Amino acid sequence: MQDLLGGRAEALARLRLVARKFPSIARGLPLISKSKKDEVLSIGSYLEKNAKERPDAPALYFEERRYTHRELDEQANRWADVLAARGIGKGDAVAVFLENRPEMLFAIAGIVKLGAIAAVINSRQRGKVLEHSFKVSKATTFVVGEELWREFAEVRAAVGADARDKVLWVVDSGKDTVPPDASDAALLVSRARTTSPPQLRDVRLGDPCFYIYTSGTTGMPKASIMSHFRWVKAAGAFGMAALALTPDDVLYLSLPLYHNNALTVAWSSVACSGAALALRRKFSVTAFWDDVRRYRCTGFAYIGELCRYLLNQAPRPDDRDNPVTKIVGNGLRPDIWKEFKQRFGIDEVYEFYAASEGNIAFVNLLNADCTVGICPAPYALVKYDVDRDEPVRDAAGRLIRVGKGEVGLLIGQVNERYVFDGYTDKAASEKKLLRDVFDDGDCWFNSGDLLRDLGFRHAQFVDRVGDTFRWKGENVSTNEVAEVLNTFGQVAESTVYGVQVPGAEGRCGMAAVVLRVPLQELDLRGFAQHVRTQLPPYAVPVFLRFQEELEITGTFKQVKGDLKKQGFDPAAVNEPVYVLPPRHTEYVPLTPDLHRQIAARELEF
């Protein structure tokens, strides 16, 4: 327990925090424990509750604009009225393709008030990927922003959006005029009714509300199904039990609304508590803290590497001069966790683990360091064979649980309370399920993630199963290696992956590295010494590839597909590549002669 909560003073401080938040936790527990999916309760219920109880209080900030709870709810009602007039009803899908701005949230709110489904399309998608995302949604109506019209127009015919009345064009800068083959959403919304749609009375917890797309790092994006049930549970877990938000709080959101951390975690947190959301169109590392101070934000939502980007900025005297006391998100790595809190004066970090398509979640309710927290749902961490890319089964065909301190594949039991909504693609959904795991007929969700058991039902994220590789007979976690590389002073960030070496079993480590200094100033000997002293021999990267920046998705996930394919082949890589040859203590440039020796199997790694 001491390893988890720290020393006596730290543990007492965390327990006092829980005691202080107890009233809010108590309000959240009934939402977290809900199980009756036919209950008439939905996202719209919370929007209307806020509009009634605190009509003139701020609900949304965006640039120079401010919207009250009444105005937000009225805008949602207007959108619902417009869409209902176009025949949209319960269970219909409406594609939403805009950048972060109030109109996007208004449209989504109107869609879900009708019991319809908002297919929230990644605004960074283009071409065939964008076409695929529209098609799998089976949307009958398309809400498209002026800022993304050209991208939509390229795939419009292919996705069946030819008719003018199927497309609602949403003005942005006003530089363009309404296309002749689209309807003017702003005009229609301005004329629509502000009263609550009668359809809201038939929207139930179990109804789907969003399609959230996977990042597409391992293939075409899949549309995972989000329900009002899971959104309400998130409200209880994050807004109440973790953040303990009040109507006086403002939560800063620079994450894209097409991601669950924004649409479900952040939005549900403020909606359930009457707090306000400060929305930014796109994340900006230079404007981040200025925005936070401008809107007096007491917290923010994060994901992936956002915190690392902030930490990589040059320190400023006013770093701690900000109103933020608590943050919520996932992906804050242990190598920067405490430094980030200290530098920016943040007291509470509510890291969590969840998957858009998953049925379980971990939340760091105790505000412990370097953990995704506790999970109330039935789950297990089981042994995983990295080489065979599958869970290990014993002689009886059952999966094997790992012990405390060990790393295992996270699986979550599927039952009536913890359902698996899956994807719109039923075949893809079935592939995520494991059956006859511990008993005949049982069913478990395969998260595809490796976590470490910290004890007391707490865990720590380690890696994706596809990112972990095997070298010298040992499993290597790419995330854990990257964390060590990132602690070297001249390294800004890195991503690690496995590559094949001729004549060797498994895959050796290779790292794409972004430096804080010019390459010629890198202390190669010191860097090699750093990784060799901090990592076991089998985990030390053999190859380094130096880049100006890492490729990331719109949700800050590192893209490794091309890096893995290109490996250390000089014909495929036009950036500096270094190698740590056998029995060397320093990385050296990968010359044509060294590459020839490796290809000819003259070097034994």
CATH number for the domain spanning 82: value is: 3.40.50.12780
| 484 and 589 assigned to the same domain | yes
**Which of 337, 344, 299 lies closest to 319 in space, CA to CA?**
344
Strand runs (DSSP E) across 82-178, as ranges?
93-97, 117-120, 141-145, 167-170
Cα→Cα distances 451→418, 461, 477, Å = 20, 5, 11
User: Contact at 8 Å (CB) between 375 and 362?
Assistant: yes
The whole domain housing 77 covers 2-356
Answer whether residue 86 is part of any domain.
yes
Q: What is the pLDDT of residue 391?
A: 94
| 493 and 445 assigned to the same domain | no
Residue 547 belongs to domain with CATH number: 3.30.300.30
| 454 and 316 assigned to the same domain | no
Q: Which of 329, 356, 383 is the last residue of a domain?
A: 356
- Residues contacting 269, CB < 8 A, separation 6+: 234, 235, 238, 239, 243, 245, 251, 275, 328
Answer whether residue 585 is part of any domain.
yes
pTM of the model: 0.84
The percent of residues above 90 in pLDDT, for the chain, comes to: 76
In the structure, what pLDDT confidence band is assigned to residue 393 with cuts at 50, 70 and 90? Answer: very high
Q: How many domains does the chain have?
A: 3
* pLDDT greater than 80 at residue 556: no
Answer whether residue 66 is part of any domain.
yes
In the structure, what pLDDT confidence band is assigned to residue 4 with cuts at 50, 70 and 90? Answer: low
* pLDDT greater than 70 at residue 396: yes
Spatial separation of the C-alpha atoms in residues 498 and 507, rounded to whole Å: 5
Q: What is the pLDDT of residue 218?
A: 52
| 187 and 274 assigned to the same domain | yes
| 312 and 401 assigned to the same domain | no
Residue 385 belongs to domain with CATH number: 2.30.38
Answer whether residue 392 is part of any domain.
yes
| 409 and 513 assigned to the same domain | no
Cα→Cα distances 189→183, 194, 561, Å = 11, 9, 43
Mean pLDDT of 598-603: 90
| 533 and 392 assigned to the same domain | no
Answer whether residue 526 is part of any domain.
yes
| 47 and 141 assigned to the same domain | yes
Spatial separation of the C-alpha atoms in residues 206 and 37, rounded to whole Å: 4
Answer whether residue 154 is part of any domain.
yes
| End-to-end Cα distance, the chain | 41
**126-180 per-position pLDDT tens digit:** 888 899 999 999 999 999 999 999 999 999 999 999 889 999 999 999 999 999 9
Answer whether residue 363 is part of any domain.
no
Mean pLDDT of 328-344: 92
| 167 and 84 assigned to the same domain | yes
Mean pLDDT of 76-87: 98
User: Can you give the length of the chain in residues?
Assistant: 605
| 88 and 128 assigned to the same domain | yes
Strand runs (DSSP E) across 324-396, as ranges?
326-330, 348-354, 361-363, 373-374, 379-382, 384-385, 390-391
One-letter amino acid for residue 540 of the chain: V
**573-591 per-position pLDDT tens digit:** 999 999 999 989 999 999 9
User: Which helix or strand (DSSP H or E) is residue 70 part of?
Assistant: helix 69-85
| 380 and 399 assigned to the same domain | yes
CA angle, 366 then 342 then 346, to 5°: 50
Spatial separation of the C-alpha atoms in residues 81 and 72, rounded to whole Å: 14
Answer whether residue 425 is part of any domain.
no
User: Contact at 8 Å (CB) between 81 and 91?
Assistant: no
User: Contact at 8 Å (CB) between 86 and 49?
Assistant: no
| 385 and 406 assigned to the same domain | yes
DSSP string, 212-269: EE---TTSS--EEEEEHHHHHHHIIIIIIIIS---TT-EEEE-S-TTSHIIIIIIHHH
Spatial separation of the C-alpha atoms in residues 105 and 373, rounded to whole Å: 30
